[in-house]
Amino acid sequence: MTGITTTDLVKRFDDVTAVDGVDLNVREGEFLVLVGPSGCGKSTTLRLLAGLESPTEGAVAIADEDVTTTSPGERDVAMVFQSYALYPHMTARENMTFGLTTATQFTDDEVNDRVAEAAEILDIEDLLDRTPSALSGGEQQRVAIGRALVRDPEVFLMDEPLSNLDAKLRVQMRAELAELHAQLQTTTLYVTHDQVEAMTLGDRVAVMNDGEIQQVAPPQLLYDAPATRFVAEFIGSPGMNTVEGTIKRRGDAVHVTWEQNTVPLPRPVPEAVTSRAGESVVLGVRPEDLSQEKRGPLNMEVTVTEPLGDSLLTRGVVGATEMEVSLPPRSAVNVGDVLSLTADPQRLHLFDVETGAAFYHSADDVASEATDQTARDAPRSRT
């Protein structure tokens, strides 16, 4: 097993708890993405795995071996940093091979073979004799990945390696990283704050907030059945709308109401919901699961329209609550209009007001899928 396991990992810096009890399991050959907002503890987690920080509490195992107190050089990991961290006075080749002959058993011939192989994979054969100042950002980034590749480690750790690239190059490199992983199948933990990058690259995605992992799941499941209100609001572009309301029950009809608005839940409504009748609850519905309907139950006054080309993202207020709705492109909608909206009954979510934990997803298939997740979500093969 060349996976990574952390057990109750904690890292405190004076009064800041950067990592707060993280149990993470990256499976052998898996591409796991750790995503979360700025300052939530992603880089610290990665640095703990690389051995660049030592944990306040807890343990790290790589390939079933406890490496909690092992020095970085003795862990079989290669890290790619956001800043690339290339030596400016060395050529691309020297950057890639620096320390390789002294730290490992490789002969010069073996090192040359490895560089040639990595350079071919990354398409940088013609750039090997240039120094970083003569390389574009994207090329420097490939060299930084090349440096990780030639080490042929058990594990890749990548900290926002694409964040310095422009949008187009980022999308291109994203596809190349996915291809690279399909080819090498090296266990990878990849950090980003970009949820689109997380969703497109990850076999599974771990969502982190305030030093804690909120959910680990395959991308589609994370979107369909977020385990917490935080995950619901973080995943999606834009994230899920959430509003505090009350569960109202009349016979076997159940609604969530707030102000003048009422959203009916599809029948049959499970016991987990009916037992909370009369209680406060957080209702969640994604912008793309709202649509215009003649006499829809929600009236939204439009405050902003953003044509995205393939959709018209429309922001507004429903009562006192800000919401976003994704409408078909070229919808005739103007600021100040009052839209009549309805929510797809099969795409509703309920969260506990206090804890933020999800206790209901209306889609039939999703609820059971969320329960089966642990049994089912072995790493996908992406060939």
Ligand X SMILES: Nc1ncnc2c1ncn2[C@@H]1O[C@H](COP(=O)(O)OP(=O)(O)OP(=O)(O)O)[C@@H](O)[C@H]1O
Binding site for ligand X (CB under 6 A): 13, 16, 18, 36, 38-44, 193
Contact 255, 214 (CB under 8 A): no
The radius of gyration computed from the CA coordinates of the chain, to the nearest angstrom, equals: 24
Question: Would you state the structure tokens that stand for residue 60, as one six-digit string?
Answer: 């790290």
CA angle 228, 6, 44 (to 5 degrees): 75
Options 2, 43, 45, 261; binder of Mg ion; rule CB under 5 A: 43
In a 10 Å sphere around its CB, with 0-12 CB exposed, 13-18 middle and 19+ buried, how is residue 364 labelled?
exposed
Task: Work out what residue 16 binds among Mg ion, ligand X, none; the CB cut-off runs from 5 to 8 Å by kind.
Answer: ligand X
Q: Which is nearer to Mg ion, 43 or 95 (CB)?
A: 43
Q: Which is nearer to ligand X, 201 or 300 (CB)?
A: 201
Closest CA to 156 of 98, 85, 80: 80
Contact 284, 229 (CB under 8 A): yes
Task: Work out what residue 13 binds among Mg ion, ligand X, none; the CB cut-off runs from 5 to 8 Å by kind.
Answer: ligand X
Q: Which is nearer to ligand X, 19 or 247 (CB)?
A: 19
| β pairing state of 187-192 and 155-159 | parallel
Find the shortest distance in angstroms from Cβ 23 to Mg ion. Answer: 20
Find the shortest distance in angstroms from Cβ 29 to ligand X. Answer: 25
Find the shortest distance in angstroms from Cβ 333 to Mg ion. Answer: 38
Find the shortest distance in angstroms from Cβ 188 to ligand X. Answer: 17
Find the shortest distance in angstroms from Cβ 4 to ligand X. Answer: 17
Task: Work out what residue 362 binds among Mg ion, ligand X, none; the CB cut-off runs from 5 to 8 Å by kind.
Answer: none
Find the shortest distance in angstroms from Cβ 38 to Mg ion. Answer: 7
Find the shortest distance in angstroms from Cβ 214 to ligand X. Answer: 13
CA atoms within 13 A on the CB side of 139: 16
Q: Classify 368 as helix, strand or coil.
A: helix
Q: Which is nearer to ligand X, 44 or 187 (CB)?
A: 44
Task: Work out what residue 18 binds among Mg ion, ligand X, none; the CB cut-off runs from 5 to 8 Å by kind.
Answer: ligand X
Q: Which is nearer to ligand X, 35 or 67 (CB)?
A: 35
Subset of residues 54 to 73 that bind Mg ion, contact rule: CB under 5 A: none
Q: Which is nearer to ligand X, 41 or 218 (CB)?
A: 41
Task: Work out what residue 38 binds among Mg ion, ligand X, none; the CB cut-off runs from 5 to 8 Å by kind.
Answer: ligand X
Helices marked H in the chain: 42-50, 92-97, 100-103, 108-122, 137-150, 167-184, 195-201, 219-224, 229-234, 271-274, 364-376
Q: Which is nearer to ligand X, 82 or 291 (CB)?
A: 82
Task: Work out what residue 239 binds among Mg ion, ligand X, none; the CB cut-off runs from 5 to 8 Å by kind.
Answer: none
Q: List all residues 6 or more positions away from 276 whose beta carbon is below 8 Å from its beta carbon.
A: 247, 359
Task: Work out what residue 40 binds among Mg ion, ligand X, none; the CB cut-off runs from 5 to 8 Å by kind.
Answer: ligand X
Q: What are phi and psi of 185, to 5 degrees?
A: 55, 30
